Structure 1
Amino acid sequence: MLLFWAMARLLPVEPASAMGRWFGRKVVSRLGDSRYMRANYRVAFPEAGEAEITRLIRKSWGNLWAVLAEFPHLGKICDRSSPDPRVEIENHAYLEELDRTGRAAVFFTAHMGNWEILGGLMPAMGRPLTVVYTPQSNPLVDAMVQYWRQRQGMKLVEKHGGIRILLRRLGSGESIGLLVDQRVDEGEHVPFFERSALTTTAPARLALRTRNDLVPVRVERVATARYRVIIHPPVSPPHEEMGTDKQALEMTRQVNGIFERWIREEPGEWLCLKRRWAKPGKELKEKRKKKRRAA
């Protein structure tokens, strides 16, 4: 991995990204563990044949390794002073409204396109952003990833145990960014592609508790190392009479629905390396176990 990053760093940004995509599609897709990716695609696209699923898996591996190759070049990709910016922004007016009001937002996105762009873009525009992250299993790889993130001005908070920090940041008018499309064992059962899937309700709860918007941000890859960032309208909170738990659950249903639409439009850019749904027959056991823990 470190050799790969060393090569990517020596190359200009476009050749580095292209090298990563080629390596992911042609090499890693054949050698890597794709069993969960295949299982996830089968659930999300039951009408797809095995050949089509294999094509999507190769494309997903290619996108992942393009993202990895772009890590050393995040500064160039997110640079807003360039006469030819690599990132175009749709609905920039929403960010300007936050600036005028001094309010914060709970931004969320999925593992699509290059999900690191959101965290690098906001500080590049002079907008502080705290990013919630999960440490990598390899300490050396984790150190490199955090180094490049911090170089872009991202403020990092580890996923477990960072709620108080996030509440303080939101309370002080600083926005946060989260990736929330993957399975969370302590999450709630929420429909996703018409199947129940354990999903975190933390983003909705943070938005409700601090009375800030819950805002979907889609990062689309439009060309090699070039992106479109779309800031969608905030997720609508239900009536307060429902109570916080039901409000958070309903907002999370909306979040999963948003992700479904994105994934259906660009399935090959969805990173789904980990199992998203329970194995057949285990879903009921998960629900019973969750009820026992809540009792």
Structure 2
Amino acid sequence: MDARRWRKRLKNDVLYVLIRLLGGAVRALSTVPARRLMRALGRGVYLASPGLRHLTFENLRLAFGDELSEREIRRLARRVFEDLGVNAADALRLDRIQPTSLVTSESFHVVREALALRRGLLVATGHVGNWEVLGAYLASRGVPLTALAARIYDPRLDRLVTRLREAVGVRTIRHNRSGFGMARVLKAGGALGVLVDVRQERLGQVVRFFGRPVHAVDGPFQLAVRFGTPVVFACAWRRRDGGYRAEFELLEPPPGLDGRRKVAWLLQACTDRLESVIRRVPSQWIWMHPRWEPVAESKIRAPRKAAKVRRKAVAKV
């Protein structure tokens, strides 16, 4: 084993041990102290990680440079790390919380009605609010949910996250072996959960996110259009009182579109909804993620406004 691989393995081993110790501490605490601990940890990561910090600044400037001052952007960036810590606390305690008491929703009937069609259900969401709590909530309401997820770099951490999901009734299938698995879930009348804001260079289609082109994976949406599967945009964002609000919206392409244009419409519609939620709770999205990359304008197939979503100014921090 060369020195570089040895250092990488040592780093992964240390991180794994730290995460297990931290996870054990968080799971031993009740909700409020667990969140306080992880909020403080998020603040510490913000201070100790100049690379992530500056990427967060740059992404916030791309999205809100015309709406927020530099001081507001830096204040928001710190809150992003703190809120991500809070979300991690809740995710680590998924099997110890009661989703139906932590999450409220006035639109869950959309999910129930879509599943009643017996054509499966595609649940599209993003890294906004707490997507793990969203999955736990759906499973607790009787939704047969399978999450499409990439493998984590460390197999031990991957198994840990998978077990946490399975403990609350959420199955997992992988991106690299997903084609048959996705089709099987939908044909069986189950719900497939997908994240629409994962960076995928040169894959899928191009949509606009905060006015800039980004790639979006279209495989699940192609299957949904082929099978006549309903598509619901969903999110669960944290309220000021510490609970979560879950929102569900059925997305229906306008009549007259062929299959390819339906896929493009759905991708852009989901991205528009995601942006709208982020503007309401800007500290609850993963701004340290390299979402934007150079994309030729000629590659954009989806219309700039796939659906009527009112563009609101970002909530002041």
**Fold similarity call, TM over 0.5:** yes
> Shift in Å at residue 187 of structure 1?
2.6
Of the three residues 55, 59, 72, the one matched with 2:75 is: 55
Counterpart of 2:110 in structure 1 is 94
Q: Which residues of structure 1 form unaligned runs of 5+?
A: 288-295
1:20 deviates by 0.9
Mapped pair 1:77 → 2:92: no
Distance 1:272 1:155, change over 3 A: same
Equivalent of 1:7, from 17, 25, 34? 25
Contact 2:114 / 2:230 at 8 angstroms: preserved in 1? no
Report the CA distance between 1:79 and its aligned residue. 4.2
Q: Give the conservation status (yes or no) of the 8 Å contact 1:91–1:231.
A: yes
Per-residue deviation at 1:225? 5.0
Q: 1:67, CA displacement in angstroms?
A: 1.8
Deviations 1:103-154 (A, max 9, x none): 4210111111111012212222222111111122233322211111111111
- Separation of aligned partners in 1, 2:120 and 2:148: 15
Verify the 8 A CA contact 1:107 1:177 in the aligned structure 2. yes
In the alignment, which residue of structure 2 is the partner of 1:190? 207
In the TM superposition, what are the counterparts of 1:42-191 in structure 2 within 5 Å? 42-47=61-66, 48-80=68-100, 85-98=101-114, 100-185=116-201, 186-191=203-208
Matched residue type, 2:268 = R
Q: 1:104 to 1:78 in 2, by over 3 A?
A: farther
Residues 285 and 92 of structure 1: is their aligned pair in 2 closer, same or farther, counting only changes over 3 Å?
closer
Structure 1 runs (4+) greater than 6 angstroms displaced = none
Q: TM-score, normalised by structure 2?
A: 0.81
Deviations 1:147-170 (A, max 9, x none): 111111111001222121111111
2:315 is matched with none
Alpha-carbon distance between aligned partners in 2 of 1:146 and 1:224, rounded to the nearest angstrom: 29
**For the Cα contact (< 8 Å) 2:91–2:133, is it kept in 1?**
no
Deviation at 1:208, TM superposition (A): 0.6
Give the structure 2 partner of residue 266 of structure 1. 281
CA distance, structure 1, for counterparts of residue 253 and residue 284 of structure 2: 29
Taking structure 1 as the reference length, what is the TM-score of the superposition? Answer: 0.86
Aligned-residue offset at 1:102: 3.5
Q: Could you tell me which of 269, 274, 294 is aligned with 1:254?
A: 269
Paired residue total:
278
Q: CA RMSD in A?
A: 2.2
Q: 1:95 to 1:260 in 2, by over 3 A?
A: closer
In structure 2, stretches of 5+ residues that fail to align are 1-18, 300-317
